[in-house]
Amino acid sequence: MIIVEFSEAGKADTMTKRDIVLDTLLRIAAALGYSVFVYRIVSAQLQTPNIVLTTLLIAETLALGLIIFSRRTDTRVYSLSAMTSTFAATFYFLFIQLEGGTVLVPRWLSEALILSGMGLQVAAKICLGRNFGLLPALRGVVTNGPYRLVRHPIYLGYFVTHVGYLLNVFSIWNLSILTLLYIFQFIRMINEEKVLMQSAAYREYMARVSKRFIPFLA
Give the model confidence (pLDDT) of 35-57 as tens digits: 787 777 777 777 777 777 777 77
Asked if the structure places residue 2 within a domain, the reply is no
Asked if the structure places residue 3 within a domain, the reply is no
Residue 9 has pLDDT above 60, yes or no: no
Residue 118 has pLDDT above 70, yes or no: yes
Provide the number of structural domains found in the chain. 1
Residues 6+ apart with CB under 8 A from 164: 109, 110, 111, 112, 113, 114, 115, 116, 117
Asked if the structure places residue 151 within a domain, the reply is yes
Asked if 92 and 180 count as a contact pair (C-beta separation under 8 A), the reply is: yes
Q: Which range of residues forms the domain containing residue 147? A: 8-208
**Longest alpha-carbon distance in the chain:** 53
Q: What CATH number is associated with residue 112?
A: 1.20.120
Residue 2: pLDDT band by 50, 70, 90 thresholds? very low
Query: What pLDDT shows up at residue 76?
Result: 75
- Considering the chain, what is the average pLDDT of its residues? 82
Query: What pLDDT shows up at residue 69?
Result: 72
Asked if the structure places residue 30 within a domain, the reply is yes
Asked if the structure places residue 66 within a domain, the reply is yes
Query: What pLDDT shows up at residue 8?
Result: 39
Angle at 217 between CA 169 and CA 152, to 5 degrees: 70
Asked if the structure places residue 154 within a domain, the reply is yes
Buried b (16+ CB within 10 A) or exposed e, 175-205: eebbeebbebbbbbbebbeebbeebeebeeb
Q: Where are the alpha helices (DSSP H) in 105-171?
A: 107-128, 153-168
> What is this structure's pTM?
0.80
More confident residue, 40 or 185: 185
Asked if the structure places residue 1 within a domain, the reply is no
Asked if the structure places residue 217 within a domain, the reply is no
Query: What pLDDT shows up at residue 82?
Result: 87
